[in-house]
Structure 1
Amino acid sequence: MTHLARSERDAFCDTLLAVGPGAPTLCSPWSAADLAAHVVVRDRRPDLAPGIWLPPLAQRLEDGQAAYAARPFPELVDLVRSGPPVWSPARLAPVDDLVNFVELFIHHEDVLRGDEQRGPRRVLSDRESRALWGSLSRLARVFFRRSPVGVVLRTPDGRSIHAHGTTELGTVVLQGRPEELLLTAYGRRRVAEVEVTGGSEPVAALWDAPLGLA
Protein backbone atom coordinates (compact mmCIF):
# COMPACT_ATOMS: atom_id res chain seq x y z
CA MET A 1 0.00 0.00 0.00
CA THR A 2 1.23 3.49 -0.87
CA HIS A 3 2.84 5.46 1.93
CA LEU A 4 0.79 8.63 1.49
CA ALA A 5 3.09 11.05 3.28
CA ARG A 6 6.12 9.77 1.39
CA SER A 7 4.39 10.10 -1.97
CA GLU A 8 3.17 13.60 -1.13
CA ARG A 9 6.62 14.61 0.12
CA ASP A 10 8.25 13.47 -3.12
CA ALA A 11 5.63 15.26 -5.22
CA PHE A 12 6.07 18.42 -3.11
CA CYS A 13 9.83 18.31 -3.62
CA ASP A 14 9.45 17.82 -7.36
CA THR A 15 7.22 20.90 -7.46
CA LEU A 16 9.68 22.93 -5.40
CA LEU A 17 12.49 22.13 -7.83
CA ALA A 18 10.25 22.96 -10.78
CA VAL A 19 9.19 26.40 -9.51
CA GLY A 20 12.45 27.48 -7.87
CA PRO A 21 13.28 29.09 -4.52
CA GLY A 22 11.72 32.48 -5.20
CA ALA A 23 8.31 31.26 -6.30
CA PRO A 24 5.34 32.82 -4.46
CA THR A 25 3.23 30.79 -2.04
CA LEU A 26 -0.10 31.20 -0.31
CA CYS A 27 1.87 31.77 2.92
CA SER A 28 2.91 35.27 1.85
CA PRO A 29 5.47 36.73 2.36
CA TRP A 30 7.10 33.31 2.38
CA SER A 31 8.70 32.13 -0.84
CA ALA A 32 9.04 28.48 -1.86
CA ALA A 33 12.43 28.40 -0.09
CA ASP A 34 10.89 29.78 3.12
CA LEU A 35 8.12 27.20 3.00
CA ALA A 36 10.62 24.39 2.41
CA ALA A 37 12.63 25.63 5.39
CA HIS A 38 9.46 25.60 7.51
CA VAL A 39 8.92 21.93 6.65
CA VAL A 40 12.52 21.07 7.49
CA VAL A 41 12.25 22.82 10.86
CA ARG A 42 9.00 20.98 11.56
CA ASP A 43 10.64 17.65 10.69
CA ARG A 44 14.00 18.12 12.33
CA ARG A 45 13.95 20.88 14.97
CA PRO A 46 11.28 20.24 17.63
CA ASP A 47 13.40 22.38 19.94
CA LEU A 48 12.34 25.42 17.91
CA ALA A 49 8.61 24.62 17.93
CA PRO A 50 7.81 26.56 21.15
CA GLY A 51 8.52 29.74 19.17
CA ILE A 52 5.19 29.24 17.41
CA TRP A 53 3.28 29.86 20.65
CA LEU A 54 5.70 31.74 22.90
CA PRO A 55 6.62 35.24 21.68
CA PRO A 56 9.94 35.36 23.60
CA LEU A 57 11.10 32.34 21.57
CA ALA A 58 9.70 33.46 18.22
CA GLN A 59 12.95 35.09 17.08
CA ARG A 60 14.89 31.89 17.70
CA LEU A 61 12.40 30.04 15.48
CA GLU A 62 12.64 32.69 12.77
CA ASP A 63 16.44 32.61 12.86
CA GLY A 64 16.51 28.83 12.62
CA GLN A 65 14.14 28.81 9.68
CA ALA A 66 16.04 31.61 7.93
CA ALA A 67 19.27 29.65 8.25
CA TYR A 68 17.73 26.70 6.44
CA ALA A 69 16.14 28.94 3.79
CA ALA A 70 19.56 30.44 3.02
CA ARG A 71 21.05 27.07 2.07
CA PRO A 72 21.51 26.17 -1.59
CA PHE A 73 18.03 25.31 -2.81
CA PRO A 74 18.77 21.76 -4.07
CA GLU A 75 20.33 20.98 -0.68
CA LEU A 76 17.29 22.39 1.13
CA VAL A 77 14.90 20.36 -1.02
CA ASP A 78 16.97 17.24 -0.34
CA LEU A 79 16.43 17.85 3.37
CA VAL A 80 12.68 18.09 2.81
CA ARG A 81 12.73 14.92 0.71
CA SER A 82 14.71 12.92 3.28
CA GLY A 83 11.94 13.51 5.80
CA PRO A 84 12.06 13.14 9.57
CA PRO A 85 15.37 12.00 11.10
CA VAL A 86 15.95 8.44 12.29
CA TRP A 87 15.07 9.28 15.90
CA SER A 88 11.65 10.64 15.00
CA PRO A 89 8.53 8.48 15.44
CA ALA A 90 7.41 9.88 12.08
CA ARG A 91 9.96 7.62 10.39
CA LEU A 92 7.29 4.95 10.82
CA ALA A 93 4.92 5.06 7.85
CA PRO A 94 1.65 4.98 9.84
CA VAL A 95 2.84 7.82 12.09
CA ASP A 96 4.17 9.77 9.13
CA ASP A 97 0.83 9.48 7.33
CA LEU A 98 -1.04 10.58 10.44
CA VAL A 99 1.05 13.64 11.31
CA ASN A 100 2.54 14.72 7.99
CA PHE A 101 0.33 13.81 5.04
CA VAL A 102 -2.18 16.64 5.44
CA GLU A 103 0.56 19.14 6.38
CA LEU A 104 2.51 18.27 3.24
CA PHE A 105 -0.61 18.36 1.10
CA ILE A 106 -1.53 21.84 2.32
CA HIS A 107 1.97 23.21 1.78
CA HIS A 108 2.23 21.56 -1.62
CA GLU A 109 -0.97 23.36 -2.59
CA ASP A 110 0.47 26.57 -1.11
CA VAL A 111 3.13 26.38 -3.81
CA LEU A 112 0.95 25.04 -6.64
CA ARG A 113 -1.65 27.77 -6.09
CA GLY A 114 0.83 30.46 -5.18
CA ASP A 115 -0.36 32.47 -8.17
CA GLU A 116 -3.63 33.00 -6.24
CA GLN A 117 -5.69 31.46 -9.06
CA ARG A 118 -8.69 29.44 -7.93
CA GLY A 119 -8.96 25.70 -8.49
CA PRO A 120 -6.83 22.54 -8.48
CA ARG A 121 -3.62 21.95 -10.40
CA ARG A 122 -3.64 18.16 -10.11
CA VAL A 123 -5.92 15.13 -9.79
CA LEU A 124 -5.70 13.16 -6.56
CA SER A 125 -6.12 9.42 -6.23
CA ASP A 126 -9.20 8.00 -4.53
CA ARG A 127 -7.07 6.95 -1.57
CA GLU A 128 -5.60 10.41 -1.17
CA SER A 129 -9.06 11.96 -1.38
CA ARG A 130 -10.42 9.52 1.23
CA ALA A 131 -7.53 10.28 3.57
CA LEU A 132 -8.14 14.02 3.31
CA TRP A 133 -11.86 13.53 3.92
CA GLY A 134 -11.04 11.41 6.98
CA SER A 135 -8.82 14.14 8.37
CA LEU A 136 -11.49 16.75 7.70
CA SER A 137 -14.09 14.57 9.41
CA ARG A 138 -11.95 14.38 12.54
CA LEU A 139 -11.06 18.07 12.68
CA ALA A 140 -14.04 19.88 11.18
CA ARG A 141 -15.55 20.87 14.52
CA VAL A 142 -12.16 22.24 15.59
CA PHE A 143 -11.70 24.21 12.37
CA PHE A 144 -15.13 25.82 12.60
CA ARG A 145 -15.54 26.00 16.38
CA ARG A 146 -15.63 29.79 16.35
CA SER A 147 -18.09 30.10 13.50
CA PRO A 148 -21.05 32.39 14.23
CA VAL A 149 -23.21 30.34 11.87
CA GLY A 150 -23.92 26.67 11.28
CA VAL A 151 -21.57 25.01 8.82
CA VAL A 152 -22.18 21.91 6.70
CA LEU A 153 -19.43 20.49 4.51
CA ARG A 154 -20.68 18.48 1.57
CA THR A 155 -19.07 16.62 -1.32
CA PRO A 156 -20.60 16.35 -4.80
CA ASP A 157 -21.32 12.65 -4.18
CA GLY A 158 -23.46 13.41 -1.13
CA ARG A 159 -21.18 12.90 1.86
CA SER A 160 -21.54 15.53 4.53
CA ILE A 161 -20.11 16.75 7.83
CA HIS A 162 -21.95 19.00 10.26
CA ALA A 163 -18.97 21.10 11.27
CA HIS A 164 -20.88 23.56 13.45
CA GLY A 165 -24.44 23.60 14.75
CA THR A 166 -26.92 26.09 13.33
CA THR A 167 -27.30 29.46 15.03
CA GLU A 168 -29.84 32.27 14.85
CA LEU A 169 -27.89 33.59 11.87
CA GLY A 170 -28.56 30.40 9.94
CA THR A 171 -26.35 27.78 8.27
CA VAL A 172 -23.85 27.92 5.44
CA VAL A 173 -23.25 24.92 3.18
CA LEU A 174 -19.83 24.50 1.60
CA GLN A 175 -19.74 21.99 -1.25
CA GLY A 176 -16.66 20.71 -3.01
CA ARG A 177 -14.21 17.87 -3.28
CA PRO A 178 -12.54 16.89 0.02
CA GLU A 179 -9.27 18.60 -0.85
CA GLU A 180 -11.07 21.85 -1.69
CA LEU A 181 -13.06 21.78 1.55
CA LEU A 182 -9.89 21.07 3.50
CA LEU A 183 -8.12 24.02 1.91
CA THR A 184 -11.09 26.19 2.89
CA ALA A 185 -10.93 24.95 6.46
CA TYR A 186 -7.20 25.77 6.55
CA GLY A 187 -7.87 29.37 5.52
CA ARG A 188 -7.15 29.02 1.79
CA ARG A 189 -10.74 29.70 0.68
CA ARG A 190 -9.71 32.32 -1.90
CA VAL A 191 -8.13 29.60 -4.06
CA ALA A 192 -10.41 26.68 -3.15
CA GLU A 193 -13.03 25.54 -5.65
CA VAL A 194 -16.03 25.46 -3.31
CA GLU A 195 -19.69 26.29 -3.89
CA VAL A 196 -21.12 28.36 -1.03
CA THR A 197 -24.83 28.65 -0.22
CA GLY A 198 -26.70 30.09 2.73
CA GLY A 199 -27.43 33.75 2.13
CA SER A 200 -25.19 36.78 1.95
CA GLU A 201 -25.28 37.71 5.65
CA PRO A 202 -24.50 34.23 7.06
CA VAL A 203 -21.74 33.74 4.46
CA ALA A 204 -20.19 37.12 5.27
CA ALA A 205 -20.34 36.30 8.99
CA LEU A 206 -18.58 32.98 8.39
CA TRP A 207 -15.77 34.53 6.36
CA ASP A 208 -15.29 37.26 8.94
CA ALA A 209 -14.86 34.70 11.74
CA PRO A 210 -11.45 33.40 12.91
CA LEU A 211 -11.40 29.86 11.53
CA GLY A 212 -8.78 27.13 11.45
CA LEU A 213 -6.63 25.38 14.05
CA ALA A 214 -5.16 28.52 15.68
Structure 2
Amino acid sequence: MEPLSRSERAALCNSALEAGESAPTLCGGWDVKDLVVHLLVRERHPVGAVGIVVPPLAGLTERTSRRLARQDFTALVERVRGGPPLWSPTSVPALDRAVNSLEFLVHHEDVRRAQPGWEPRELAEAEQRAVWRSLAVAGKGLVRAAGVPVELRWPGAARDGDARTTTLRAGQDPVVVTGEPVELALLLFGRDQHRGLRFDGPPEGVRRLRGSDLGF
Protein backbone atom coordinates (compact mmCIF):
# COMPACT_ATOMS: atom_id res chain seq x y z
CA MET A 1 0.00 0.00 0.00
CA GLU A 2 1.19 3.50 -0.77
CA PRO A 3 2.00 5.37 2.47
CA LEU A 4 -0.89 7.46 3.78
CA SER A 5 1.26 10.59 3.70
CA ARG A 6 1.74 10.20 -0.06
CA SER A 7 -1.79 9.12 -0.98
CA GLU A 8 -3.36 11.95 1.04
CA ARG A 9 -0.94 14.47 -0.43
CA ALA A 10 -2.05 13.49 -3.94
CA ALA A 11 -5.73 13.39 -2.96
CA LEU A 12 -5.52 16.82 -1.31
CA CYS A 13 -3.98 18.28 -4.47
CA ASN A 14 -6.74 16.78 -6.60
CA SER A 15 -9.44 18.13 -4.29
CA ALA A 16 -7.78 21.56 -4.20
CA LEU A 17 -7.80 21.83 -7.99
CA GLU A 18 -11.39 20.59 -8.14
CA ALA A 19 -12.59 23.09 -5.51
CA GLY A 20 -10.66 26.04 -6.91
CA GLU A 21 -8.32 28.53 -5.31
CA SER A 22 -11.01 30.78 -3.81
CA ALA A 23 -13.10 27.97 -2.29
CA PRO A 24 -13.40 27.99 1.51
CA THR A 25 -11.65 25.59 3.89
CA LEU A 26 -12.15 24.66 7.53
CA CYS A 27 -8.98 26.59 8.44
CA GLY A 28 -10.36 29.81 9.84
CA GLY A 29 -10.48 32.45 7.13
CA TRP A 30 -8.24 30.59 4.69
CA ASP A 31 -9.34 29.77 1.19
CA VAL A 32 -7.85 26.83 -0.70
CA LYS A 33 -4.96 28.86 -2.08
CA ASP A 34 -4.07 30.06 1.42
CA LEU A 35 -3.94 26.44 2.57
CA VAL A 36 -1.73 25.41 -0.35
CA VAL A 37 0.61 28.30 0.41
CA HIS A 38 0.76 27.21 4.06
CA LEU A 39 1.79 23.71 3.03
CA LEU A 40 4.56 25.06 0.82
CA VAL A 41 5.88 27.41 3.49
CA ARG A 42 5.88 24.59 6.02
CA GLU A 43 7.70 22.16 3.74
CA ARG A 44 9.96 24.23 1.48
CA HIS A 45 10.73 27.50 3.25
CA PRO A 46 12.37 26.79 6.62
CA VAL A 47 12.96 30.45 7.49
CA GLY A 48 9.36 31.36 6.74
CA ALA A 49 8.10 28.28 8.56
CA VAL A 50 9.65 29.37 11.86
CA GLY A 51 6.77 31.76 12.45
CA ILE A 52 4.27 28.90 12.32
CA VAL A 53 5.59 27.57 15.63
CA VAL A 54 7.16 30.74 17.11
CA PRO A 55 4.43 33.44 17.17
CA PRO A 56 6.81 36.41 17.66
CA LEU A 57 8.36 35.51 14.29
CA ALA A 58 5.04 35.27 12.46
CA GLY A 59 6.12 38.17 10.26
CA LEU A 60 8.59 35.85 8.51
CA THR A 61 5.77 33.47 7.68
CA GLU A 62 3.51 36.26 6.47
CA ARG A 63 6.13 37.70 4.13
CA THR A 64 6.94 34.31 2.64
CA SER A 65 3.24 33.53 2.26
CA ARG A 66 2.50 36.81 0.50
CA ARG A 67 5.30 36.19 -1.97
CA LEU A 68 4.06 32.69 -2.78
CA ALA A 69 0.43 33.81 -3.02
CA ARG A 70 1.29 35.97 -6.02
CA GLN A 71 2.17 32.85 -8.01
CA ASP A 72 -0.12 30.73 -10.18
CA PHE A 73 -2.43 28.50 -8.14
CA THR A 74 -2.07 25.38 -10.28
CA ALA A 75 1.71 25.67 -10.20
CA LEU A 76 1.63 25.93 -6.41
CA VAL A 77 -0.56 22.84 -6.12
CA GLU A 78 1.76 20.85 -8.37
CA ARG A 79 4.71 21.92 -6.21
CA VAL A 80 2.92 20.45 -3.18
CA ARG A 81 2.17 17.30 -5.17
CA GLY A 82 5.87 16.93 -5.96
CA GLY A 83 6.68 16.27 -2.32
CA PRO A 84 9.39 17.58 -0.04
CA PRO A 85 12.73 18.74 -1.46
CA LEU A 86 15.69 16.39 -1.04
CA TRP A 87 17.20 18.57 1.70
CA SER A 88 14.06 18.30 3.83
CA PRO A 89 14.06 15.77 6.69
CA THR A 90 10.63 14.60 5.48
CA SER A 91 12.21 13.38 2.24
CA VAL A 92 13.15 10.37 4.39
CA PRO A 93 10.14 8.03 4.03
CA ALA A 94 9.88 7.14 7.72
CA LEU A 95 9.86 10.80 8.76
CA ASP A 96 7.42 11.65 5.99
CA ARG A 97 4.98 9.07 7.37
CA ALA A 98 5.44 10.28 10.94
CA VAL A 99 5.14 14.01 10.21
CA ASN A 100 2.83 14.21 7.21
CA SER A 101 0.25 11.42 7.46
CA LEU A 102 -2.16 13.27 9.74
CA GLU A 103 -1.17 16.68 8.37
CA PHE A 104 -2.28 15.88 4.84
CA LEU A 105 -5.25 13.78 5.91
CA VAL A 106 -6.71 16.58 8.02
CA HIS A 107 -5.94 19.32 5.51
CA HIS A 108 -7.50 17.22 2.75
CA GLU A 109 -10.66 17.06 4.84
CA ASP A 110 -10.34 20.81 5.47
CA VAL A 111 -10.87 21.24 1.74
CA ARG A 112 -13.51 18.54 1.28
CA ARG A 113 -15.71 19.31 4.27
CA ALA A 114 -15.90 23.03 3.63
CA GLN A 115 -17.70 22.37 0.33
CA PRO A 116 -21.48 21.93 0.03
CA GLY A 117 -22.83 18.39 0.18
CA TRP A 118 -19.70 16.72 1.52
CA GLU A 119 -19.90 13.16 2.82
CA PRO A 120 -17.36 11.15 4.82
CA ARG A 121 -15.00 9.06 2.74
CA GLU A 122 -14.56 5.31 3.13
CA LEU A 123 -10.87 4.66 3.58
CA ALA A 124 -9.29 1.30 2.92
CA GLU A 125 -8.72 -0.82 6.01
CA ALA A 126 -4.94 -0.34 5.80
CA GLU A 127 -5.39 3.44 5.60
CA GLN A 128 -7.64 3.43 8.64
CA ARG A 129 -5.03 1.44 10.56
CA ALA A 130 -2.38 3.98 9.58
CA VAL A 131 -4.53 6.83 10.90
CA TRP A 132 -5.30 4.93 14.11
CA ARG A 133 -1.64 4.20 14.82
CA SER A 134 -0.68 7.81 14.11
CA LEU A 135 -3.32 9.03 16.55
CA ALA A 136 -1.94 6.78 19.28
CA VAL A 137 1.35 8.71 19.03
CA ALA A 138 0.34 12.26 18.10
CA GLY A 139 -2.91 12.30 20.07
CA LYS A 140 -1.19 12.76 23.42
CA GLY A 141 -0.14 16.27 22.44
CA LEU A 142 -3.38 17.08 20.68
CA VAL A 143 -5.56 16.68 23.80
CA ARG A 144 -3.26 18.46 26.24
CA ALA A 145 -5.37 21.62 26.27
CA ALA A 146 -8.43 19.75 27.56
CA GLY A 147 -6.75 18.81 30.83
CA VAL A 148 -8.89 15.69 31.30
CA PRO A 149 -8.16 11.96 30.92
CA VAL A 150 -8.97 10.85 27.37
CA GLU A 151 -9.23 7.48 25.66
CA LEU A 152 -10.00 6.78 22.03
CA ARG A 153 -11.87 3.70 20.94
CA TRP A 154 -12.13 2.27 17.44
CA PRO A 155 -14.22 -0.91 17.38
CA GLY A 156 -12.71 -1.94 14.04
CA ALA A 157 -9.16 -2.05 15.41
CA ALA A 158 -9.51 -5.55 16.82
CA ARG A 159 -10.09 -6.98 13.34
CA ASP A 160 -6.42 -6.47 12.58
CA GLY A 161 -4.89 -7.14 15.95
CA ASP A 162 -4.51 -3.50 16.96
CA ALA A 163 -5.56 -2.32 20.40
CA ARG A 164 -9.24 -1.41 20.42
CA THR A 165 -8.59 1.46 22.86
CA THR A 166 -5.68 3.88 23.13
CA THR A 167 -5.05 6.14 26.11
CA LEU A 168 -4.06 9.69 25.23
CA ARG A 169 -4.11 11.10 28.75
CA ALA A 170 -4.23 8.71 31.70
CA GLY A 171 -6.38 9.23 34.76
CA GLN A 172 -9.52 8.16 36.55
CA ASP A 173 -12.91 8.47 34.87
CA PRO A 174 -11.63 9.25 31.37
CA VAL A 175 -13.67 10.67 28.55
CA VAL A 176 -13.96 7.85 26.01
CA VAL A 177 -14.48 8.90 22.40
CA THR A 178 -15.58 6.14 20.04
CA GLY A 179 -15.59 6.38 16.27
CA GLU A 180 -13.77 5.91 12.99
CA PRO A 181 -10.12 7.00 12.86
CA VAL A 182 -10.61 9.88 10.40
CA GLU A 183 -13.44 11.34 12.47
CA LEU A 184 -11.34 11.02 15.63
CA ALA A 185 -8.45 12.79 13.88
CA LEU A 186 -10.66 15.71 12.91
CA LEU A 187 -11.88 16.08 16.49
CA LEU A 188 -8.35 16.04 17.89
CA PHE A 189 -7.20 18.64 15.38
CA GLY A 190 -9.98 20.97 16.52
CA ARG A 191 -12.42 20.53 13.65
CA ASP A 192 -16.16 20.51 14.34
CA GLN A 193 -17.13 18.85 11.05
CA HIS A 194 -16.82 15.26 12.24
CA ARG A 195 -19.49 12.59 12.20
CA GLY A 196 -20.53 9.54 14.16
CA LEU A 197 -18.47 10.09 17.31
CA ARG A 198 -19.78 8.96 20.69
CA PHE A 199 -18.62 10.64 23.89
CA ASP A 200 -18.85 8.69 27.15
CA GLY A 201 -17.63 9.63 30.60
CA PRO A 202 -18.17 12.36 33.19
CA PRO A 203 -20.33 15.15 31.70
CA GLU A 204 -17.90 17.83 32.87
CA GLY A 205 -15.01 16.01 31.25
CA VAL A 206 -16.92 15.65 28.00
CA ARG A 207 -17.78 19.35 28.10
CA ARG A 208 -14.17 20.35 28.66
CA LEU A 209 -12.88 18.11 25.88
CA ARG A 210 -15.44 19.33 23.36
CA GLY A 211 -14.96 22.95 24.35
CA SER A 212 -11.16 22.97 24.32
CA ASP A 213 -8.89 24.36 21.64
CA LEU A 214 -7.52 20.98 20.59
CA GLY A 215 -4.58 20.49 18.26
CA PHE A 216 -0.96 21.61 18.19
Using a 3 Å threshold, how does the CA distance of structure 1 residues 88 and 207 change in structure 2: closer, same or farther?
Answer: same
Aligned: 1:179 with 2:182: yes
Q: 1:132 maps to what in 2?
A: 131
Using a 3 Å threshold, how does the CA distance of structure 1 residues 70 and 146 change in structure 2: closer, same or farther?
Answer: same
* Amino acid paired to 2:49: A
C-alpha distance in structure 2 between counterparts of 1:200 and 1:101, whole Å: 32
Q: 2:90 maps to what in 1?
A: 90
Q: 1:164 maps to what in 2?
A: 169
Using a 3 Å threshold, how does the CA distance of structure 1 residues 139 and 55 change in structure 2: closer, same or farther?
Answer: closer
- 1:116-170 Cα distance to aligned partner (Å, 9 max, x none): 87862x2111221111111111122222234343222111336111222335xx4
| Kept in 2: contact 1:140–1:161 (CA 8 A) | no
TM normalised by structure 1 equals: 0.88
TM normalised by structure 2 equals: 0.87
C-alpha distance in structure 2 between counterparts of 1:114 and 1:130, whole Å: 25
| Kept in 1: contact 2:13–2:77 (CA 8 A) | yes
C-alpha distance in structure 2 between counterparts of 1:142 and 1:161, whole Å: 14
Q: 1:145 maps to what in 2?
A: 144
Q: State percent identity of aligned pairs.
A: 40
- Counting matched residue pairs gives 209
Segments of structure 2 that go 5 or more residues without pairing to the other structure are: 159-163
C-alpha distance in structure 2 between counterparts of 1:165 and 1:35, whole Å: 34
Q: 1:60 maps to what in 2?
A: 60
Q: Please give the root-mean-square deviation of Cα atoms over the aligned residues, in Å.
A: 2.1
Aligned: 1:192 with 2:194: yes
* Amino acid paired to 2:194: A
Segments of structure 1 that go 5 or more residues without pairing to the other structure are: none
Using a 3 Å threshold, how does the CA distance of structure 1 residues 171 and 117 change in structure 2: closer, same or farther?
Answer: farther
